[in-house]
């Protein structure tokens, strides 16, 4: 039996999975937010007819009452429509302590993105590093998702979110460099040397921080700030209105804050890091999507130079999907390992076994068969959709050429 | 408590697998490994079951599950929609 690999990115705003599909990667993305309303038969029928994904569940501690939880993108649309904030089962990159009793939502989303696994199938899922500026750990979060994926039949292994970006983007750089995953709740940073973590940490200032600060400064709802930040018209180098101006200001503040923490970590580990060439620096995550982000980062790095000189700075090819692709490569590496018997992870996720991801296994004869015209059409249709989801790629900026 | 025990068992399993692989175990030890592995797995299973039962088994009705999220195919070598 062929064991399969899957990568799962568990982010505060989106949960995504990736699997190999012929020569490509097939991804599923779900916005992990929800919108609650009291149960009414009429509402249930309307939502069913409108093809809106939702969950009906008994209200905790209240007998005879039920609630409807709209989940995914439709929940975001409803929150904007009703001028309310989108509620999320995750906060700051981990299971939210504020949103109790909502783990069933995460379970349903995981079931949807990962699908049912077979014995021996491997899932690598992303977890944030412990934060340097907040008081919580990732232990409960890590074990709960291990259980969710384990219940679906996977041998689940956690991987640092920023290290997953390195797996995705630093293949041709010996998995050496600095990687950042800039999501909604947290900013995860990892300095990797040949696939090993030199240091990693997270800071609690990312996309949500920008939204909250913009909303507070401009006196608008957080969901409106999010909507403006995610609009295609936003250019961080050329803001068009006062809200966009505020977004640019807080993006700069966020970047300067994380550069300060990276500098401190580099100073601490300076003796461990001996590079012959300038450091490669890759960024990924939904918060890097606005136009002009990379230029803003490059300027911030020039104004606040890191102790280790930075060479090229670039954005992942597909910023939103880089983490789950990195997780997929790590999972695939394990499945390919001859010592893997489908029972136990044979490595601790940090040793040299994981030093270098390789290409997918040679495909079987049946998999190599030509695609049918119907499959081809389907793939082309899907490829059209992806451009709306994962766009935003910008060419690299070489800081050594800009001095 | 459960998490710490899980970590301990995970570590134990890694150590045993590693020692067996690099030949640091004696023949007697090697014979004992499968049995230890089974015992460790049983214990691991028991703890996971306890963790599972600690959380409520909730009844939820999911509707329109197939409409949740977006499915996309990424050409690994030719990323789409590059913006300069």
> Does A351 have pLDDT greater than 80?
no
**Strands A310-315 vs A34-38: parallel, antiparallel or unpaired:** unpaired
Instruction: Mark yes or no for CB contact B3/A143 under 8 Å.
Output: yes
CA distance A48 to chain B (A): 7
Q: How far apart are the two ends of chain B, measured CA to CA in Å?
A: 52
Instruction: Tell me what percent of chain B is helix, strand and coil, each rounded to the nearest 5.
Output: 60, 10, 25
Among the partner-chain residues A28, A344, A386, the one whose CB lies closest to the CB of B80 is A386
> Does A338 have pLDDT greater than 70?
no
Is the model more confident about B12 or about A122?
A: A122
Could you report the per-residue pLDDT of A281-292, keeping only the tens digit for each?
Answer: 999 999 999 999
CA distance B26 to chain A (A): 20
- Cα(A293)–Cα(A393) distance, rounded to whole angstroms? 10
> Does A385 have pLDDT greater than 50?
no
Closest chain A residue to the Cα of B58, Cα to Cα:
A104
**C-alpha torsion angle, residues A1, A121, A25, A365 (rounded to 10):** 0
Q: What average pLDDT score do residues A301-329 get?
A: 92
Among the partner-chain residues B48, B74, B83, the one whose CB lies closest to the CB of A27 is B74
Instruction: Mark yes or no for CB contact B14/A28 under 8 Å.
Output: no
Q: CB of A130 within 8 Å of any CB in chain B? A: no
Q: CB of B72 within 8 Å of any CB in chain A? A: yes
Instruction: Mark yes or no for CB contact A385/B72 under 8 Å.
Output: yes
Q: Give the bridge partners for A90, in sequence order.
A: A95
> Does A242 have pLDDT greater than 70?
yes
Is the model more confident about A24 or about A228?
A: A228
Chain A residue numbers touching B51 (CB-CB < 8 A): 143, 147
Chain A residue numbers touching B73 (CB-CB < 8 A): 21, 24-27, 379, 382-383, 386
Inter-residue contact A128 to A138 (CB < 8 Å): yes
Quote the pLDDT of residue A364. 43
Chain A residue numbers touching B43 (CB-CB < 8 A): none
Quote the pLDDT of residue A391. 43
Q: What average pLDDT score do residues A379-400 get?
A: 55
Inter-residue contact A34 to B62 (CB < 8 Å): no
Q: Report the percent of chain B where pLDDT is more than 90.
A: 7
Is the model more confident about A171 or about A305?
A: A305
Query: How many CB atoms neighbour CB B68 within 10 A?
Result: 23
Instruction: Mark yes or no for CB contact A29/B72 under 8 Å.
Output: yes
Burial of A50 (0-12, 13-18, 19+ CB in 10 A): exposed
Among A5-19, A102-116, B44-58, B65-79, where is mean pLDDT lowest? B44-58
Q: What average pLDDT score do residues A294-315 get?
A: 93
> Does A222 have pLDDT greater than 70?
yes
Instruction: Mark yes or no for CB contact A28/B71 under 8 Å.
Output: yes
Instruction: Mark yes or no for CB contact B79/A390 under 8 Å.
Output: yes
Chain B residue numbers touching A13 (CB-CB < 8 A): none
Could you report the per-residue pLDDT of A72-109, keeping only the tens digit for each?
Answer: 999 988 988 888 888 999 988 888 878 877 888 999 99
Instruction: Mark yes or no for CB contact A383/B75 under 8 Å.
Output: yes
Instruction: Mark yes or no for CB contact A72/B69 under 8 Å.
Output: yes
Q: What average pLDDT score do residues A268-292 get?
A: 88
Quote the pLDDT of residue B50. 47
Quote the pLDDT of residue A205. 93
Q: What average pLDDT score do residues A302-329 get?
A: 92
Instruction: Mark yes or no for CB contact A30/B68 under 8 Å.
Output: yes
Output the average pLDDT for chain A.
84
> Does B17 have pLDDT greater than 70?
no
Is the model more confident about A156 or about A393?
A: A156
Q: What average pLDDT score do residues A263-280 get?
A: 86
- Cα(A266)–Cα(A304) distance, rounded to whole angstroms? 13
Burial string for A143-166 (b: 16+ CB within 10 Å, else e) reads: bbbbbbbbbbbbbbbbbbbbbbbb
Could you report the per-residue pLDDT of A37-85, keeping only the tens digit for each?
Answer: 999 999 999 999 999 999 999 887 788 889 999 999 999 889 888 888 8
Q: State the pLDDT confidence band at B52, using cuts at 50, 70 and 90.
A: low
* Structure token pair of residue A234: 């936003």
Chain B residue numbers touching A23 (CB-CB < 8 A): 75-76
Q: Is 0.80 surpassed by the pTM of this model?
A: no
Q: State the pLDDT confidence band at B54, using cuts at 50, 70 and 90.
A: very low
Among the partner-chain residues A21, A108, A348, the one whose CB lies closest to the CB of B14 is A348
The phi and psi torsions of A343 (rounded to 5 degrees) equal -110, -45
Q: Report the percent of chain A where pLDDT is more than 70.
A: 85
Q: What average pLDDT score do residues A220-232 get?
A: 90
Closest chain A residue to the Cα of B82, Cα to Cα:
A393
Chain A residue numbers touching B6 (CB-CB < 8 A): 143
Q: CB of A59 within 8 Å of any CB in chain B? A: no
Among the partner-chain residues B67, B75, B81, the one whose CB lies closest to the CB of A24 is B75
Q: CB of B70 within 8 Å of any CB in chain A? A: yes
Chain A residue numbers touching B60 (CB-CB < 8 A): 55-57, 104, 108
DSSP SS3 for A213: helix
> Does A373 have pLDDT greater than 80?
no
Mutate to test the interface with A, among B10, B72, B75, B84 (most CBs of A within 10 A): B72
Among A86-100, A196-210, A295-309, A350-364, where is mean pLDDT lowest? A350-364
Please, which residues 227-266 of chain A have a Cβ atom closer than 8 Å to chain B?
none
Q: CB of A106 within 8 Å of any CB in chain B? A: no
Could you report the per-residue pLDDT of A122-180, keeping only the tens digit for each?
Answer: 999 999 998 998 877 888 888 889 989 998 999 999 999 999 999 999 988 888 999 99
Quote the pLDDT of residue A355. 35
Angle (nearest 5°) at CA A31 between A291 and A44: 140
> Does A356 have pLDDT greater than 50?
no
Output the average pLDDT for chain B.
61
Among A271-280, A297-306, B10-19, where is mean pLDDT lowest? B10-19
Q: Number of A to B CB contacts under 8 A, please give it.
A: 146
Among A235-239, A329-333, A377-381, B9-13, where is mean pLDDT lowest? A377-381
């Amino acid at each position: 039996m062929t064991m399969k690999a899957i990568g799962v990115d568990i982010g505060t705003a989106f949960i995504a999975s990736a699997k190999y599909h012929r020569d490509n990667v097939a991804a599923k993305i779900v916005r992990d937010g929800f919108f609650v309303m009291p149960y009414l038969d009429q509402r249930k029928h309307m939502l069913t007819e409108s093809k809106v994904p939702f969950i009906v569940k008994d209200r905790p501690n209240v007998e005879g009452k039920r609630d409807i939880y709209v989940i995914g993108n439709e929940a975001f649309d409803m929150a904007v429509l009703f001028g309310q904030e989108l509620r999320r089962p995750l906060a700051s990159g981990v299971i939210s302590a504020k949103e109790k009793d909502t783990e069933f939502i995460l379970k349903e989303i995981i079931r949807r993105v990962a699908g049912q696994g077979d014995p021996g199938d491997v899932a690598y899922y992303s977890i944030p590093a412990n934060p340097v500026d907040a008081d919580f750990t990732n232990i409960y979060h890590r074990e709960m998702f291990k259980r969710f994926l384990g219940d679906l039949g996977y041998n689940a292994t956690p991987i640092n979110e920023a290290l997953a970006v390195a797996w995705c983007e630093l293949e041709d750089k010996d998995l050496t460099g600095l990687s950042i995953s800039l999501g909604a709740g947290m900013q995860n940073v990892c300095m990797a040397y040949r696939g090993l973590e030199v240091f990693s940490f997270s800071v609690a200032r990312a996309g949500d921080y920008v939204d909250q600060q913009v909303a507070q400064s401009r006196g608008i709802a957080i969901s409106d700030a999010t909507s403006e930040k995610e609009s295609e018209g936003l250019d961080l180098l050329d803001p068009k209105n006062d809200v966009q101006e505020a977004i640019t200001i807080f993006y700069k503040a966020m970047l300067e804050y994380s550069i300060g923490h990276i500098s401190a970590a580099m100073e601490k580990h300076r003796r461990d890091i001996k590079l012959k060439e300038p450091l490669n620096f890759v960024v990924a995550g939904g918060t890097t999507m606005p136009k002009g982000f990379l230029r803003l980062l490059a300027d911030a790095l020039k104004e606040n130079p890191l102790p280790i000189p930075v060479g090229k700075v670039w954005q992942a090819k597909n910023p939103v999907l880089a983490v789950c692709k990195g997780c997929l490569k790590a999972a695939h590496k394990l499945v390919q390992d001859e010592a893997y018997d489908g029972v136990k992870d044979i490595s601790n996720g940090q040793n040299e076994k994981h030093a270098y991801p390789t290409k997918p296994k040679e495909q079987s004869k049946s998999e190599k068969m030509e695609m049918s015209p119907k499959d081809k059409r389907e793939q082309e249709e899907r490829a059209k959709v992806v451009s709306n989801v994962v766009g935003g790629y910008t060419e690299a900026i070489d800081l050594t050429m800009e001095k | 408590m459960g998490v710490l025990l899980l970590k301990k068992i995970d570590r134990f399993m890694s150590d045993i697998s590693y020692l067996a692989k690099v030949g640091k175990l004696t023949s007697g030890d090697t014979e004992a490994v499968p049995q230890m592995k089974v015992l460790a797995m049983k214990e691991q299973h028991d703890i996971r079951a306890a963790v599972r039962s600690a959380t409520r088994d909730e009844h939820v009705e999911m509707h329109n599950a197939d409409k949740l999220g977006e499915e996309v195919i990424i050409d690994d070598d030719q990323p789409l929609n590059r913006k300069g």
